[in-house]
Structure 1
């Protein structure tokens, strides 16, 4: 695991967890690490230490300052992994200013039970457990932010409207856990808001990443450039969506449920 000393006195500490080694999380980390305006230090949460180290090297090679980056092994489906990550970050940084719940899978396997179990275990239970683990570090921040990655696929309105493009997309397990996450978000916005933690549900759209199975194929089917989705996340992190706290947002504004 690679750790770099932070060169500035009071940096903003972020964790992008997990999946920061690829796709939306990786691009979000790159944009934030390269930003000179908000003095970011990004902790790349990755299921695999090897992949995390590889992504770290790629970001540094692309021009991101090494002192703005570090990695931590983090598997949101493992209590022991979460506890170890919490311990590492506590010792290294003592606080957390922003937590981005970026975990996400869309399993396509024959067993219906296993398909739903895997999706819920990572996308929903993993996000809730990750949040619960890191709340003590968020509360040590002077301006804590919590982001859940939402999706249009979790909208009951969209799922029920045959005139909307995504009406016939058959990813029921993924839709179900994102709909459940919307409820978790609403409830946590109320409870965590009382503790001074600001919460957003960020919809990055349908990005062309391997979450869809194959990024190139997804792009041919109309999926958007993932950098656009990542910038919606970055806007919430960097304060440009402060007027929309406790709401579900995308690049165009506030979304209905």
Structure 2
């Protein structure tokens, strides 16, 4: 059976790691490429995946979404090893909430907006060789302009404006990719994984678990698998979450 090649950035923790576990546990037809910028963390994460319920296969790929050379080298490696990508999950992100506005916005935009845009462009030729290509941008409901403008909109964390702005910008990247490449068969989704355990907010137990309020990222992984398996195709080109569609 020919494997379906799924590349996930930021796959060594949080939603990326949880999604990898769900996907390779679902079927022998899936091969997940776990991409990240630390070889040591990737190897540890891959070992954790392989110790679980594994039907599919998994490999690692060094890829720093803030480094154009790293992205280009990663795309070349995948081209040589696999010849295509069937699903690209742009998941890598950071949740910078430091007080300095310039530093907060600069680092956030480079990682959360410029990075995914570069990754999407570098891997798109490999996606378009797939018979059924999917491009998924892991966004957040915090990036919804409509919901942010509602009276009584919730503030989730201090200095959250950079993160919100980045996810709104990422949504625009998703919309434009869908408009530009839907005629070539590329299905594109902006996807909100919800408030789940993640290193996005920091690596302390308090930050990772959101004070014990964050949910299981495996639920987000299952939602990603639903997209990959075509169960959300009717919502192609939209901003989806576990239970439906968010307004832009």
TM-score, length-scaled by structure 2: 0.93
> Aligned pair 1:232/2:223, yes or no?
yes
Partner of residue 126, structure 2: 137
Structure 1 residues 189 and 175: CA distance shift in structure 2, 3 A: same
Partner of residue 34, structure 2: 44
**2:85 alignment partner, one of 82, 96, 100:** 96
Query: What is the distance in 2 between the residues matched to 1:89 and 1:71?
Result: 11
> Aligned pair 1:71/2:29, yes or no?
no
Pairwise CA distance, 1:49:
1.1
Q: Where does 1:176-195 land on structure 2 (aligned, <5 Å)? A: 176-195=165-184
Contact 2:98 2:159 in 1 (8 A): no
Partner of residue 3, structure 2: 11
> Aligned pair 1:58/2:48, yes or no?
yes
Q: Where does 1:117-132 land on structure 2 (aligned, <5 Å)? A: 117-132=106-121
Structure 1 residues 166 and 237: CA distance shift in structure 2, 3 A: farther
Q: Where does 1:203-214 land on structure 2 (aligned, <5 Å)? A: 203-214=192-203
Query: What is the distance in 2 between the residues matched to 1:235 and 1:215?
Result: 31
> Aligned pair 1:155/2:144, yes or no?
yes
SS of 1:95's equivalent in the other structure is: coil
Partner of residue 3, structure 1: none
SS of 1:63's equivalent in the other structure is: coil
Pairwise CA distance, 1:221:
5.7
SS of 2:123's equivalent in the other structure is: helix
**2:242 alignment partner, one of 244, 247, 251:** 251
SS of 1:220's equivalent in the other structure is: coil
SS of 2:224's equivalent in the other structure is: helix
Contact 1:208 1:216 in 2 (8 A): no
Contact 1:14 1:98 in 2 (8 A): yes
Deviations 1:17-43 (A, max 9, x none): 1x100110000001101112x710000
Unaligned ranges ≥5, structure 1: 1-8
Deviations 1:54-103 (A, max 9, x none): 111111112325x6111110001111111111111111110110000001
Alignment size in residue pairs: 246
Contact 2:147 2:247 in 1 (8 A): no
Structure 1 residues 116 and 64: CA distance shift in structure 2, 3 A: same
**1:220 alignment partner, one of 190, 205, 211:** 211
> Aligned pair 1:198/2:187, yes or no?
yes
Taking only aligned residues, the RMSD between alpha carbons, in angstroms, comes to: 1.8
Q: Which has the larger displacement, 161-170 or 47-56?
A: 161-170
Pairwise CA distance, 1:252:
1.0
Contact 1:208 1:224 in 2 (8 A): yes
